[in-house]
Homo-oligomer: A and B are copies of this chain.
Amino acid sequence: MSELRWNPVRREWVIMATHRMDRTLHPPRDHCPLCPTVPGGFETEIPRPDFEVAVFENRFPSLHLQPPPPDVAGTLLSPIAPAEGVCEVVVYTPEHEGSLATLPFKRVVQLIYVWQERYREISLRKGIRYILIFENRGAAVGVTLTHPHGQIYAFPFVPPVPALELSSARAYREETGRCLFCDLLAEERADGRRIIMESKGWVAFVPFAARYSFEVHLYSRRCLASLPELRDSEVEELAKMLQKIVGGYDRLFEAPFPYLMILHQAPVQCGGGEERGHLHFEFYPPLRDRDKLKYLAGCEQGAGTFINDAAPEEKAAQLRAALGTNADG
């Protein structure tokens, strides 16, 4: 079964994907499906002996280019839709070990160009409304393949989190005529205590109302809607910032630091005047301290309200120390 089901209470589509129950979990080192295929050896997802950055369709996709017809009939209250969309895997390197921090700088630049290219290409497909580029890193967030990689999901709807962000931005623009994200960024820079790093094109900070102890947001300084608008200099700076953030994370506890890295951009096929948002990355790390995990329990999932055990100002200082930056960036 692969279909979208509507929950009229939470007003959300839920993706039903029963074929995913049996997906590959923690394969042994010599059966990594994201490594290159050595001639005569285990056939991985990438039928080549070498590559730089590889992109392919997820073998256990939640969303499909040609979705099967829904399994059951929906109702007026609880409709069903085909699970249309795209699920791609982006393999950062042929090397089995490593991270955004340890990749050669040029490879990270190349990865960003790949993101741009995929964003452009997928945007043109019929029925796609939102493209989410993300990376899940670490067993603590459920990652089953350790080979450095990220993912791209393209949805036939604007999902709840970006929809909420865009609706806030829309209301703010109607009220003030300005971009909510630009104004938030200006406030963070004016305050300064939560800034962890700045470059000409980018600012990284622990947000004022962080949900996670070590949450970091990375905003483009220019009010850009999506990746293809980046100048080459901004791409290179972005590569540096991403490498530094992940490197800083890994130095915090001298161990690979688990996180979710999310890229929020404009919806695609925007209708007339739809709010386009402001390109930014959000890092959600589940560790609230060394060996202490943050769980999303009753308060977070039943109320939707997060409890953060740490002061964002202190965590920003700790991250600046790990990054070797000072309060001025």
Report A158 CB to chain B, min CB distance, Å: 9
Query: A183 contacts the other chain (Cβ, under 8 Å)?
Result: yes
Q: Is the CB of B10 within 8 A of A311?
A: no
Q: Kindly specify which of A47-55, A95-103, A233-241, A290-298 makes contact with the partner chain.
A: A290-298
> CA of A160 to CA of B211 in the docked complex: distance in angstroms?
14
In A159-173, the 8 Å CB interface with B consists of 159-165, 168-169, 172
> CA of A303 to CA of B263 in the docked complex: distance in angstroms?
10
> CA of A319 to CA of B65 in the docked complex: distance in angstroms?
33
Q: Name which of A1, A162, A299, A304 has the most chain B CB atoms within 10 A of its CB.
A: A299
Residues of B near A260 (CB, < 8 A) are: 297-298, 301-302
Q: Say yes or no: A153-B13 contact (C-beta < 8 A), given A78-B209, A160-B305, A209-B78.
A: no
- When C-beta atoms are compared, the residue in chain B nearest to A190 turns out to be B75
Report A286 CB to chain B, min CB distance, Å: 9
Residues of B near A302 (CB, < 8 A) are: 132, 134, 161, 260, 262, 264, 282, 284
- When C-beta atoms are compared, the residue in chain B nearest to A162 turns out to be B303
Main secondary structure of the interface of A (DSSP, over half): mixed
Q: Name which of A8, A21, A62, A289 has the most chain B CB atoms within 10 A of its CB.
A: A8
- When C-beta atoms are compared, the residue in chain B nearest to A78 turns out to be B208
Q: Is the CB of A301 within 8 A of B262?
A: yes
> CA of A288 to CA of B25 in the docked complex: distance in angstroms?
14
Query: A199 contacts the other chain (Cβ, under 8 Å)?
Result: no
Q: Is the CB of B303 within 8 A of A14?
A: no
**Binary contact readout A4-29 vs B (1 if CB under 8 angstroms, 0 otherwise):** 01111111111111101100010000
Residues of B near A25 (CB, < 8 A) are: 292
Residues of B near A310 (CB, < 8 A) are: 18, 21
Q: Is the CB of A161 within 8 A of B304?
A: yes
Q: Say yes or no: A14-B159 contact (C-beta < 8 A), given A62-B299, A209-B78, A299-B62.
A: no
Residues of B near A247 (CB, < 8 A) are: none
Q: Is the CB of B77 within 8 A of A184?
A: yes
Report A85 CB to chain B, min CB distance, Å: 10
- When C-beta atoms are compared, the residue in chain B nearest to A299 turns out to be B153
Query: A135 contacts the other chain (Cβ, under 8 Å)?
Result: yes
Query: A214 contacts the other chain (Cβ, under 8 Å)?
Result: no
- When C-beta atoms are compared, the residue in chain B nearest to A172 turns out to be B8
Q: Is the CB of A9 within 8 A of B301?
A: no
8 contacts between A and B (CB under 8 A): A5-B209, A8-B172, A12-B305, A21-B288, A62-B299, A134-B302, A135-B298, A262-B302
